Structure 1
Amino acid sequence: MKVIDLTHTIRENMPVYPGTEPPKLSPTSSYESDGFKETLMQMYTHTGTHMDPPAHIFSGRTTLDEFPVDQFIGKALVIDCRELKEGQAITMDCIRRAGEKAEQADFLLFNLGWDCRWGTAGYFGEYPCIDEEVMAYILSGNYKGIGFDVIGLDPISDEKLIRHHRLFEEKDIVNIENLKNLNLCGTDLFWFSCFPLKVENCDGSPIRAVAWFEQ
């Protein structure tokens, strides 16, 4: 079995969404004084490779802990959008190239090639975002989730989070941000898991996103 980690490592001074604080990892116990190591971890629920549920945007909508656990596992397909330039839109042309496989997937993962900018100022640039036709396509399907190797579903400049609102207004679906290594996943369907922490009333959570291939 071939397994690929699609997750950025959580560390202090990592890239975070503008206006939030990076994680703090504070030692509380040590091998020398206590015989074991333990760390106090302080971070926002939308840190690193993470997942948004509808409750991220709408009060009273589904939180991550309310989803059945099978929401976070299934077949995924990478949609290659690496030819797009800054500020361009992700259109249905990208999805149509995948043919019927796009309709067979539980998760559509959009590869912008943006993970190569992780840790640089360029990561916060004008990454391509899905247009209204792609959003309508996603909402009309039976997808468990969508994912991106960029820091947001919406452009950083969009303080109204228009795409988040459209995605979550009525549909129980999850949105994954800050993926990596999507270029290693090929062009066929593969197994994918993205389990969040099970936190009460959870508006978001870091995840360990993994792709695996049966050989």
Structure 2
Amino acid sequence: MEMIDLTHMIKEGMPVYPGTLSPEIKVETTIASEGFEERLITIFSHTGTHMDAPSHILDGRRSLSDFDISDFAGHAVMIDVRGMDTVSASYIRSYEKELRGAHFAVLFSGWSSKWGEQSYFENYPVLEADAAGVLAASGVKGVAVDMISVDPVDTVTFENHKIFLNRNMIIVENLTNLHLLEGKEFVLNCIPLRIEYGDGSPVRAFAMMG
């Protein structure tokens, strides 16, 4: 069985959503001094390749601890949005057959190639609200993207987030290596930390084939 890692490395100084603090990773004990090495990690719950739960945006809604682990894996359909400014409802409808019975829709923009650059946060393809509605109505339990967000980075309304999360879907952002999955059938695995009442979590995302 072939497995492809879709996760960005967590490290100090990594790209984060504007206004969020970068992770702090400190070596607190060492093998030389205490006989074992251990790090103190301070990190926001939506750092790097991560998952949004409905409670991230919607007050009183499901948190990560309300989901079963089976909700974090399933057959995925990759939707190619490279070169687009916005993604229309009609374009999403063109994937209707592929989405039937799928668990995840994965939007492939190629934006992960800009990781570490300012341009990563600018002008990436964004679903029109009607397109997000079509995707939400398709029956998938999650949407995943290789971009910083499913909304524009300067949004104050988080419209697409609300469309998905109102349906108790999960959102995965900041995937990488999607170019390695072109033309392939795969199962997407996005495994978050088991955080009580978690509004989100970094995930180890990977694809399984064969």
1:184-208, CA deviations, whole angstroms, 9 ceiling, x for partnerless residues?
Answer: 1123431111010001110000000
Show the counterpart of 2:20: 20
TM-score by length of 1: 0.93
Which of 170, 186, 189 is equivalent to 1:190?
186
- Residue 159 of structure 1 deviates from its aligned partner by 1.7
Is it true that 1:110 corresponds to 2:97 in the alignment?
A: no
How many Å separate the matches in 2 of 1:192 and 1:116? 20
Deviates more, 1:46-55 or 1:178-187: 178-187
Conserved in 2, the CA contact under 8 Å of 1:24 and 1:42? Answer: yes
**1:115-130 equivalence runs, <5 A:** 115-130=112-127
Q: Secondary structure at the match of 1:51?
A: strand
Which of 173, 178, 197 is equivalent to 1:201?
197
TM-score by length of 2: 0.95
Structure 2 gap segments, 5+ residues each: none
Letter in 1 for 2:201: S
How many Å separate the matches in 2 of 1:152 and 1:43? 18
Q: Secondary structure at the match of 1:201?
A: coil
Structure 1 gap segments, 5+ residues each: none
- Residue 167 of structure 1 deviates from its aligned partner by 2.0
1:35-80, CA deviations, whole angstroms, 9 ceiling, x for partnerless residues?
Answer: 1110000010000000001000111100011101110011011111
Show the counterpart of 2:154: 157
Q: Secondary structure at the match of 2:59?
A: coil
How many Å separate the matches in 1 of 2:90 and 2:35? 58
Letter in 2 for 1:50: H
Is it true that 1:100 corresponds to 2:97 in the alignment?
A: yes
For the aligned residue pairs, the C-alpha RMSD in angstroms reads: 1.4
Show the counterpart of 1:3: 3
- Residue 98 of structure 1 deviates from its aligned partner by 4.1
Conserved in 2, the CA contact under 8 Å of 1:191 and 1:212? Answer: yes
Show the counterpart of 1:33: 33
Show the counterpart of 1:71: 71
Identity %: 37
How many Å separate the matches in 2 of 1:152 and 1:44? 15
Which of 145, 148, 163 is equivalent to 2:145?
148
Letter in 2 for 1:65: S
Is it true that 1:136 corresponds to 2:133 in the alignment?
A: yes
Conserved in 1, the CA contact under 8 Å of 2:93 and 2:134? Answer: no
How many Å separate the matches in 1 of 2:3 and 2:94? 25
1:83-105, CA deviations, whole angstroms, 9 ceiling, x for partnerless residues?
Answer: 32xxx111245435545122232
